[in-house]
Amino acid sequence: MSGGLFLQAVVSGLLLGGVYGLVASGLTLIFGVLRIINFAHGAVMMLGMYATYWLWMLVGLDPYLSVLVTAPVFFGVGVAIQRIVIEPNRDAAEHNQLLLTLGLALFLENLALVLWQGDFRTLRVPYASASFFIADTLVEVPRLIAAGGAVVIAVALYAFLRGTVLGKAIRALAEEREGAMLVGIDVGRIRAVAFGIGSACVAVAGALITPFFYIAPDVGESFNIMAFVVVVLGGMGNFLGALVGGLIVGLAESLGAAFLPGSLKQFVVFLIFVLVLLFRPEGLFGGARGR
Amino acid sequence: MAVKALAVLAGLALLAVPPFLPKYFLEVLISILFFAYLGLAWNLLGGYAGQFSFGHAAFFGIGAYTSTLLLLRAGLSPWLGMLAGGLLATGFGLFEGYLSFRYGLRGPYFSLVTLAFAEMLRVVTVNLKVVGASLGLVVPSQTNALLFVFADKLPYYYVIAVMTAVALAITHRVAGSRLGYCLVAVRENEDAAEAAGVDARGAKLRAMAISAFLTALGGTFYAQYFAYIDPTITFGPAISIGGLLPAIVGGAGTVLGPVLGSFVLTPISEITRAMLRGRAGADIMLYGLVLILVISFLPQGLMGWLRARRAS
Amino acid sequence: MSQLDLSIESGEIVGLIGPNGAGKTTAFHLIAGFHPPSAGTIRFKGDSIVGLKPHAICRRGLARTFQLVQPFAGLTALENVMVGAFTRERDTAAARRHAGEILDFVGLGPRRDTAARNLTLGDRKRLEMARGLATRPELLLLDEVMSGLNPTEIEAIIGTIRRIHERGVTLLIIEHVMQAIMALSHRLVVLHHGEKIADGPPALVARERKVIEAYLGEAGDGTAP
């Protein structure tokens, strides 16, 4: 294939990969602190996209600006979900907790289906088709903003985790639960906050992609799977791994789409997933092991 | 004892009553037994062995596609094609299981890997024109009992009823056998089981083989009953979840659990769909809610709740 | 664990002692196949068992208990022991009979239908031994079966262990309860920092300087011989 197509694939892959990274950061944070694999993550993203859509349709609020609304709202939604559904079952068997988030995913996705039907919706902003060329490579502005926004937020989150008291408490709980309890960290509150932050991240990621991605009740499903692949690849609970893993998966998917016919790019991603799970479950950068 | 008597009575009713049922009720009953059957198949690996597969659609799809392709391309009766599908699914299950267990995948990681395998099969099927790609395959529907095609719903009912009875019998047999005890031991504590002489990997693989085989037969039934299959229906997560929900709600690791679960869940889905005409998704939304409630308040499922009530 | 040279004769009761962290349970993990050794050989009845999985080693006649008891919590005592019995029986009824016998032998007969999670600690320790016995072992590894028990329970377990030995089972026992292990063992092996520092009849070993120092040197360990 020509160098031009290859470069194009790389650029697309990196741009989408940035978004994957943000989605995965939320998931890996939730796993790191609560030790659950949140099957409902994609559903929350989908809800974030719908919220952005309705803010645009009803109030005319630009999707990028609406992030200022969606972030805190979905932080609250995440905290509520954690407090109502997950925390009461924190001592349940691992596989039961997984089923719990699965039930949540089914509920939320189909709630959206009931409320808004399955038709695809699109959010047409005036600048939706803005683009420019770098050499021969096309860069679409909305995708660039999405990737940029995702990276900025992820970096901000990283700084928060490193620099603030709350952030350090979260990391303490993730790394050493009993020690954290001993020094008086309010475990329940931190768990709710972590879930809230994770949910806010993924909802915002959804908001960022609405200018160029369709909105439908099942849109979260594919991002869900991608997020799992990224998190496993980067290492469960490893924040940096989620970001880098996102870029790698984005690249793999995009190159797969360029090289392989039809939708076989998905096969490539799943293959990576299976291989990592089997042969390097701690991920590229080290995280909780699957064994 | 009361439960067993009730079960026998129910079984007799299920044999004698259907010829007199109106068409709609018969369809619902077929649906109930279909998911009970899938639940029973899943339960062997998920409930008894404690290995929660989220990718049983892989076996379902292999069964559906194998028998249908053998019928379309070679004229082979689905009654035989069913067995071929079962064997292929067993092979795939052993492959998947061997890799997963050899590399020590447990709990949620096992669930994720099975999901990935099912999705891989789905993607491959979507992209293979020779098996119909995303358009799927239409199963010939000229009535011919030898080719597993019936004009009426009633014969399909008896087929699925027999399949469910067989799955029940197999589950009961396994539960009381050496394999059953070993599986439960592995589920409760794999290291302790090994120390007590149980070949954990061997036991899990056996459970996987039986579970995959039975699930594949369900795939063939689906193909013949609905006369149409496509990659999303047969390899998609919906059918995987459809099989495990009755088992979880009814009580994983019990003989009657999946059947009880399906008798509770499937009517809920039907009633919801009837009440909220045209509102797709309401039934699954309810499923999600039921799953959350069951995990939260009845973690041992309905069978566990019934047993606890009897004990107190 | 570094350099461990240990041999056990059929019919012996060998006590394995040493201060905390000496590597005793690690030795059990190695022998029973839960950890592969990085060097050296482990032979059982003449054949090497290195690399074999725990269940295969169990089938050859080597069973073990765990320091933190690991019952199958949801199963009854009888069902727990049946799992072990199935190593030797294919038939459920035979396994049930065999398990019942073993339960009676260790004194858990009356509790056979109690769920394992509802048993007292002492009974759970017996259950663990029973499960191992059901595999008809020639060598049984007991890991601190007396920890957490009161003196009456300890007396009872000593009796059970003696009866197990009388049935022809060779025993390798890790224990901290000194009076018990001194009374039971034909031979004592002392580990310290992963190495064997003494090996001989209990009375002699107890007087060895190295052994006394190993124990006294560990501040706060109140179990010096």
Count each helix (H run) and each strand (E run) in chain A, helices first: 11, 2
Which residues of chain A make contact with B120, given a CB cutoff of 8 A? 267, 270-271, 274
**Cα(A120)–Cα(A142) distance, rounded to whole angstroms?**
19
* Residue C26 CB-density burial (10 A; 0-12 exposed, 13-18 middle, 19+ buried): middle
Confidence class for position C213, pLDDT limits 50, 70, 90? confident
Of B181, B188, B191, the CB nearest to C73: B188
Of A92, A262, A270, the CB nearest to B120: A270
A37 inside domain:
yes
Which of C136, C153, C174 is the C-terminal boundary of a domain?
C136
B162 inside domain:
yes
Strands C139-143 and C170-174: parallel
Of B99, B123, B276, the CB nearest to A264: B123
Which residues of chain A make contact with B191, given a CB cutoff of 8 A? none
Chains that touch B (3 or more CB pairs under 8 A): A, C
Instruction: Check: CB of residue A17 under 8 Å from CB of residue A251.
Output: yes
Q: Does the beta-carbon distance from C34 to B181 stay under 8 Å? A: no
Which of C92, C113, C136 is the C-terminal boundary of a domain?
C136
Q: How far is A102 from chain B (nearest CA, A)?
A: 7
C47 and C145 in a single domain? The answer is yes
Alpha helices of B44-151 — where are they, by DSSP H? Answer: 57-74, 78-102, 107-126
B287 inside domain:
no
Domain CATH for C150? 3.40.50.300
What stretches in chain A show pLDDT beneath 70? 1-2, 288-291
Confidence class for position C220, pLDDT limits 50, 70, 90? very low
Token code pair at residue C51: 């690399």
C142 and C131 in a single domain? The answer is no
C173 and C212 in a single domain? The answer is yes
Q: Does the beta-carbon distance from B111 to A95 stay under 8 Å? A: yes
C11 and C27 in a single domain? The answer is yes
Residue B89 region, left (φ>0) first, then alpha (ψ -120 to 50), else beta?
A: alpha
Of C130, C152, C149, the C-alpha closest to C65 is: C130
C152 and C53 in a single domain? The answer is yes
C165 and C224 in a single domain? The answer is yes
Chain C residue with the nearest C-alpha to that of B182 = C83
The verdict on A88 touching B (C-beta cutoff 8 Å) is yes
| Between A286 and C35, residue with greater pLDDT | C35
C130 and C141 in a single domain? The answer is no
pLDDT score for A288: 65
The separation between CA B4 and the C-alpha centre of its own chain, rounded to angstroms, equals 22
Q: What angle do CA B184, B186, B189 make, to 5 degrees?
A: 105
Q: Does the beta-carbon distance from A111 to B124 stay under 8 Å? A: no
Q: How far is C145 from chain B (nearest CA, A)?
A: 15
pLDDT score for C132: 94
Average pLDDT estimate for C94-118: 94
Domain that holds residue C21: 1-61+137-225
A278 inside domain:
no
Which of C89, C109, C136 is the C-terminal boundary of a domain?
C136
**Cα(B259)–Cα(B34) distance, rounded to whole angstroms?**
10
Chain B residue with the nearest C-alpha to that of A87 = B296
Host H or E run for residue A281: none
Q: How far is B253 from chain C (nearest CA, A)?
A: 12
Domain count, chain B: 1
Token code pair at residue B196: 């007590």
pLDDT score for B98: 96
Q: What angle do CA B282, B283, B289 make, to 5 degrees?
A: 90
Count of pairs with CB atoms under 8 A, one residue in B, one in C: 84
Q: Does the beta-carbon distance from A104 to B285 stay under 8 Å? A: no
A239 inside domain:
no
pLDDT score for C217: 65
Q: What angle do CA A85, A88, A90 make, to 5 degrees?
A: 100
Domain count, chain A: 1
pLDDT digits (tens, 9 = 90+) for C142-200: 999 998 888 998 999 999 999 999 999 999 999 988 888 988 999 999 888 888 888 88
Domain that holds residue A60: 3-219
Largest CA distance in chain C: 55
**Cα(B16)–Cα(B10) distance, rounded to whole angstroms?**
10
Query: Which residues have CB under 8 Å from C52's CB, separation 6+?
Result: C33, C60
Domain that holds residue B99: 40-235
Chains C and A touch (3+ CB pairs under 8 A): no
Of B86, B74, B79, B60, the C-alpha closest to B150 is: B79
Residue with the two structure tokens 């070679």: B74
B225 inside domain:
yes
**Cα(A204)–Cα(C77) distance, rounded to whole angstroms?**
54
Taking the CA atoms of residue B200, residue B201, residue B205 and residue B208 in that order, the dihedral angle to the nearest 10 degrees is 70
Q: Does the beta-carbon distance from B285 to A110 stay under 8 Å? A: yes
Identity (one letter) of the amino acid at A65? L
B8 inside domain:
no
The B-side interface with C (CB below 8 A) comprises 176-178, 181-182, 184-185, 188-189, 191-200
Q: How far is A117 from chain B (nearest CA, A)?
A: 7
**Cα(C24)–Cα(C67) distance, rounded to whole angstroms?**
11
pLDDT tens for chain B, 312 residues long, are 677 788 788 888 888 888 888 988 999 999 999 999 999 999 999 999 999 999 999 999 999 999 999 999 999 999 999 999 999 999 999 999 999 999 989 888 999 999 999 999 999 999 999 999 999 999 998 999 899 999 999 999 999 999 999 999 999 999 999 999 999 999 999 999 999 999 999 999 999 999 999 999 999 999 999 999 999 999 999 999 999 999 999 999 999 999 999 999 999 988 888 887 767 888 899 999 999 999 999 999 999 998 888 877
**Cα(A245)–Cα(A283) distance, rounded to whole angstroms?**
9
A61 inside domain:
yes
**Cα(B51)–Cα(B101) distance, rounded to whole angstroms?**
10
pLDDT surpassing 50 at residue C207:
yes
Q: Does the beta-carbon distance from B194 to C63 stay under 8 Å? A: no
Identity (one letter) of the amino acid at C82? M
Total-model pTM: 0.92
A252 inside domain:
no
Q: How far is B255 from chain C (nearest CA, A)?
A: 16
The verdict on A225 touching B (C-beta cutoff 8 Å) is yes
pLDDT score for A291: 41
Domain count, chain C: 2
